[in-house]
Amino acid sequence: MKNCIVAQSGGPTAAINASLAGVISGVINSNEYDTLYGALNGITGILDNRLLNLSKIFSKNPTMLDQLILTPAMHLGSCRYKLPNYNEDASVYQQIFAFFQDKEIEAFFYIGGNDSMDTVDKLAAYAQQIGSSVRIIGIPKTIDNDLCVTDHTPGFGSAAKYVASSCLEIAHDSYIYKVKSVTIIEIMGRDSGWLTAASVLARNGYSTAPHLIYFPERAFDLNEFLEDVKELLTKQHNVIVAVSEGIRDKDGNYISASTKTVDTFGHSQLSGAGKTLEYFLNQHLNIKVRSIELNVLQRCASHLASKTDLEESFQLGEHAVDFAEAGKTAVMLTINRINDTPYAVEYGCVPVCEVANKAKDVPLEFITTRGNDLTDEIITYLKPLIQGEMPVTYEQGIPTYLPVDHLLFD
């Protein structure tokens, strides 16, 4: 028997199950591998032996695979677990590789973000040290799009499509009153502004919202912000601002850190960047100001997923199985862009050590001199990633997703 195991880790995206579906499809169609196990809740499912037999479950019912592609978050559950350095504590590693031997595992696929690639890196290094032939392969995902080497990350395109579509819908909501107003939309991305940048795709033939866009990559200046807003208000009624949750001042302090919420018990907690800017403008402008936090739906609104994103994510999963069969290990899959128009990609892999614990920011040359908008180059980069819609099915008026009973009742 030659078996494989797959797990998912980190924060949810709308595409991480599409990569899982790709791995399942790859193993079901493989001549090399027999069973594909799924470990529940990331690497911890290996440590406490909580498994699904995915190849069995999904080969019985092929339509489930289509449903899986479209289901948000992690079908196998997630974890936030950092492996210790194996030179300091090898016991977890010994347990994992004993499990691999016991289950006749030849390949381990880990679908996740930056932290998960650290796990892949460490496991692969340990495998090499003990002379294990188990292939350790990372499949990227993150709505933040901040992984290195790969042109973009699975999950980003769907989040970007949600952000752009929501910004357009919020623009329609804002344009109805003939009174001066500012609407601030706070977008996820603590350290990188890629998702905030995607708000630029909301612009169309009649709507130029968001009219101002701010990123963590460039120091944020409250006075310049106020000037920018005031200047726009001389020309238009409604100003719509897209802002990353992670904007910082020139000293690196989060803008959100300047406003605290104090409850009746005297405890305080930080507000978000959007709320902070709302309060700030309310002090300086006598007009309607509101802030809207695009919440976790950015990463889990699968009904609005990007077809391009889900197809690529699935492909990465299938290719991961191919790479394992071809003997690759200690690698992370990558999407390599061949062409912008027509958009074309191919799939590859790079040593995971080139990716783990590194981050890719929005390059400063994509941001305008004033720091409040983007250049056209980034639109060319971003636009293909949100193209296409998936055939979502609805039951009783809500989207049909694949049940996750195994996460709820184990």
Residues designated as active site: 144
Show Cβ contacts of residue 70 under 8 Å, excluding neighbours closer than 6 positions.
17, 18, 302, 305, 310, 390, 392, 399, 401
Smaller CB distance to a copy of itself: residue 353 or 407?
Answer: 407
Number of residues that bind a copy of itself (CB under 8 A): 81
Out of 92, 243, 292, 333, point to the residue binding a copy of itself (CB under 8 A): 292
> Residue 255 or residue 356: which is nearer to a copy of itself going by CB?
255
C-beta closer to a copy of itself: residue 104 or 340: 340
Site for a copy of itself in 244-273 (CB under 8 A): 258-265, 267, 269, 271
With CB under 8 A as the contact rule, the residue among 73, 188, 243, 355 that binds a copy of itself is: 73
Q: Which stretch binds a copy of itself (CB under 8 A): 91-99, 125-133, 352-360, 386-394?
A: 386-394
Measuring CA to CA, which residue among 393, 348, 298, 326 is closest to residue 15?
Answer: 298
Distance separating alpha carbons of residues 218 and 172, to the nearest angstrom: 29
The one among 35, 59, 67, 207 contacting a copy of itself by CB under 8 A: 207
Structure tokens at 124: 């692969």
- Cα–Cα distance list, 201 to 62, 237, 242, 384, 388 (Å): 35, 21, 12, 10, 14
CB distance 147 to 153 below 8 Å? yes
Name the residue nearer to a copy of itself (CB basis): 40 or 213. Answer: 40
Residue 76 has what DSSP assignment? T
Binds a copy of itself by CB under 8 A, chosen from 34, 49, 62, 80: 80
The nearer residue to a copy of itself, 327 or 391, going by C-beta atoms, is 391
Stretch that binds a copy of itself, among 78-86, 112-120, 187-195, 349-357 (CB under 8 A): 78-86
Binding-site member from 177, 340, 363, 377 for a copy of itself (CB under 8 A): 177
Nearer to a copy of itself, 219 or 407 (CB): 407
Environment class of 306 (CB within 10 Å of its CB; exposed 0-12, middle 13-18, buried 19+): buried
Closest separation in Å from C-beta 389 to a copy of itself: 6
140 DSSP β-pair partners: 112
- Give strand pairing partners of 132: none
Nearest CA to 271 out of 243, 252, 297, 250 is that of 243
Q: Is residue 71 involved in binding a copy of itself (CB under 8 A)?
A: yes
Q: Which amino acid is at 367?
A: I
Cβ 50 to a copy of itself, closest distance in Å? Answer: 9
- Which of residues 206 and 369 has its CB atom nearest to a copy of itself in the complex? 206
List the one residue from 90, 191, 279, 337 that touches a copy of itself (CB under 8 A).
Answer: 279
Residue bearing tokens 């605290």: 260
Contact between 281 and 182 (Cβ < 8 Å): yes
Contact yes or no for 363/385 (Cβ under 8 A): no
Smallest distance from a copy of itself to CB 227, Å: 19
Piece of 88-96, 143-151, 176-184, 316-324 that binds a copy of itself (CB under 8 A):
176-184
Interacting residue with a copy of itself among 31, 206, 223, 234 (CB under 8 A):
206
Residues 2-61 that bind a copy of itself (CB under 8 A): 12, 40-41, 44
Q: Which strand (E) or helix (H) includes residue 330?
A: none
Residues 97-156 interacting with a copy of itself (rule: CB under 8 A): none
State the Cα–Cα distance between residues 47 and 108, nearest whole angstrom.
Answer: 14
Q: How far is it between the farthest Cα atoms of the chain?
A: 72
Residues 294-333 that bind a copy of itself (CB under 8 A): 294-297, 299-304, 306
Alpha-carbon distance of 155 to 386, in angstroms, equals 10
